[in-house]
């Protein structure tokens, strides 16, 4: 049986996979698993609920709130806010847990349900599995004064903005910034906090109507932002995804600045301020080799994890590190939050530009991105990637030929019969040639036919 929870909560087509019935049942199960500690101490459990602006979030959040209250949980409904805001408010209000309804960068018809533990932390797999196991179990319903109460958290927006402004190292006076909110959860928050920090702000993608989230705007569609930055003569552009836990950027010439470059800039900024714990950055194995080379040159150690922000966060917490993230722009500042925060990332990036009086392009130049080729090989037995001797010999031969000027990574998909072949090299043609050869070996050795 397939696991209910994926790498980032429960996600699927709203009203087909993610139904109000499932939302209600999941909420009741979560109340019993995550609220037990408070009940054991004679206290009423408390939960913060937020959502992104997609239309299905309206009825799904109603189902979540109803399920929680019916299970005796006092609910604080924060309305439309970024995912990191819900995580922050869960910690700041000392709630037992938080719930976010969002499908992040997915198209509008999708939605998802994500839970945060006390303190705003993502749930371990075993706790998610315990919630799934409690679905549809018989339970004793509270009655009378024991049912949960529902409160509108009208100050959630301002509390989150105050938090962001408090941790910003310097103001943004004199900067001209374009914000692309992806018609998503950051459409109001991000432009407002940038203005309060002193920047002149131009907005695109900040008119959510419930149907247009991620539609041609945001971190997966940078074209409008690139055009707007150049047309407005802005210093930089910031692009969020639907729930604003990610951030990509655009320099004054309209050139994309990806998550690896952002992490390089922020790691050096924190190192200069003495806030980069152990002078170490955490990334996944998918980060460009150019980032590793740049950090080695600048005296910053890099720890690499498996793909997924949860693995980055686990390593950061285990090793007591302060900065980590992914190439996709999912950046975690563990001193200030428990999950990736696209608004905070954008603010910190702009703060570095303002503080140094150097252009974003100049700052991003600290690293040179090596050409990267990624091919998804379908219809293969991914379980034999590590054990097939001929395939591993082919990988070692290609790595030896690259002689430190590139790298090869074979990774099996977590959900499909797919092997991902990633190659980096000094030249695009070289990377493509190596990838093509390895793809043929993967197909020959691991084919399911």
DSSP string, 163-222: HHHHH-SS--TT-EEEEE-TTSTTTTHHHHHHHHTT-EEEEES----SS-TTSS-STT--
Weakest-pLDDT range from 27-41, 54-68, 200-214: 27-41
Gap between the Cα atoms of 282 and 316, Å rounded = 7
Output the pLDDT for position 414: 64
As a whole number, mean pLDDT of residues 130-136 equals 92
The predicted-structure confidence for 168-185, as pLDDT tens digits, reads as follows 999 999 999 999 999 999
Confirm if 96 and 31 have CB atoms less than 8 A apart. no
Q: Is 309 annotated as ligand-binding?
A: no
Q: Is 104 annotated as ligand-binding?
A: yes
Confirm if 238 and 230 have CB atoms less than 8 A apart. no
Residue 6 pLDDT level (bands cut at 50, 70, 90): confident
Ramachandran category for residue 143: left, alpha or beta (phi over 0 → left; psi -120 to 50 → alpha): beta
Question: How long is the chain?
Answer: 449
Gap between the Cα atoms of 99 and 48, Å rounded = 6
Closest CA to 238 of 208, 268, 263, 202: 202
Is 104 catalytic? The answer is yes
Enumerate domains of the chain plus CATH numbers: 10-154 (3.40.120.10), 159-364 (3.40.120.10), 372-446 (3.30.310.50)
Positive or negative torsion for Cα 170, 172, 178, 184? positive
pLDDT at residue 384 tops 60: yes
Among candidate residues 27, 102, 104, 328, the one labeled active-site is 104
pLDDT at residue 388 tops 90: no
The predicted-structure confidence for 43-82, as pLDDT tens digits, reads as follows 899 999 999 999 999 999 999 999 999 999 999 999 999 9
pLDDT at residue 1 tops 70: no
Weakest-pLDDT range from 6-15, 284-293, 322-331, 334-343: 6-15
What rounded mean pLDDT belongs to the chain? Answer: 94
Gap between the Cα atoms of 99 and 59, Å rounded = 14
Rounded to 5 degrees, φ, ψ at 275 are -110, 0
pLDDT at residue 100 tops 80: yes
Q: Is 243 annotated as ligand-binding?
A: yes
Gap between the Cα atoms of 340 and 310, Å rounded = 10
Q: Is 436 annotated as ligand-binding?
A: no
Weakest-pLDDT range from 21-30, 85-94, 303-312: 303-312
């Amino acid at each position: 049986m397939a696991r209910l929870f994926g790498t980032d909560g429960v996600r699927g087509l709203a009203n087909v996979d993610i139904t109000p019935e499932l939302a209600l049942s999941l909420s009741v199960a979560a109340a019993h698993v995550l609220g037990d500690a408070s009940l054991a101490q004679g206290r009423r459990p408390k939960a913060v609920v937020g959502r992104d602006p997609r239309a299905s979030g309206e009825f799904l959040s109603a189902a979540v709130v109803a399920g929680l209250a019916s299970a005796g949980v006092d609910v604080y409904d924060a309305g439309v806010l970024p995912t990191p805001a819900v995580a922050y408010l869960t910690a700041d209000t000392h709630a037992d847990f938080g719930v976010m309804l969002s499908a992040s960068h997915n198209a509008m018809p999708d939605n998802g349900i994500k839970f945060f533990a006390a303190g705003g932390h993502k749930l371990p797999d075993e706790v998610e599995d315990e919630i799934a196991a409690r679905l549809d179990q018989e339970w004793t319903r509270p009655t009378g004064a024991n049912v949960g109460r529902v409160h509108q958290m009208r100050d959630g927006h301002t509390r989150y903005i105050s938090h962001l402004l408090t941790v910003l190292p310097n103001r943004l006076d004199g900067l001209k910034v374009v914000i692309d909110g992806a018609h998503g959860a950051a459409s109001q928050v991000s432009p407002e906090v940038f203005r309060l920090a002193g920047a002149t702000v131009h907005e695109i993608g900040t008119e959510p109507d419930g149907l247009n989230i991620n539609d041609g705007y945001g971190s997966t569609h940078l074209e409008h932002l690139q055009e707007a930055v150049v047309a407005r003569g802005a210093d930089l552009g910031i692009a969020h995804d639907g729930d604003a836990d990610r951030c990509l950027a655009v320099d004054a010439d309209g050139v994309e600045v990806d998550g690896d470059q952002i992490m390089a800039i922020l790691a050096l900024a924190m190192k200069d301020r003495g806030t980069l714990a152990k002078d170490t950055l955490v990334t996944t194995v998918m980060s460009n080799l150019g980032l590793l080379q740049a950090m080695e040159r600048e005296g910053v150690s890099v720890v690499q994890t498996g793909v997924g922000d949860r693995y980055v966060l686990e390593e950061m917490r285990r090793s007591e590190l302060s900065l980590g993230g992914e190439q996709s722009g999912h950046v975690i500042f563990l001193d200030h939050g428990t999950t990736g925060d696209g608004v905070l990332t954008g603010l910190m990036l702009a703060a570095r530009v303002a503080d140094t009086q150097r252009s974003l392009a100049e700052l991003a130049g600290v690293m040179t991105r090596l050409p990267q080729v990624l091919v998804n090989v379908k219809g293969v037995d991914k379980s034999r990637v590590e054990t097939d001797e001929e395939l591993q010999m082919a990988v070692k031969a290609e790595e030896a030929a690259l002689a430190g000027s590139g790298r090869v990574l074979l990774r099996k998909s977590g959900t499909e019969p797919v092997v991902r072949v990633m190659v980096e090299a000094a030249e695009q043609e070289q990377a493509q040639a190596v990838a093509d050869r390895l793809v043929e070996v993967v197909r020959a050795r691991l084919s399911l036919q």
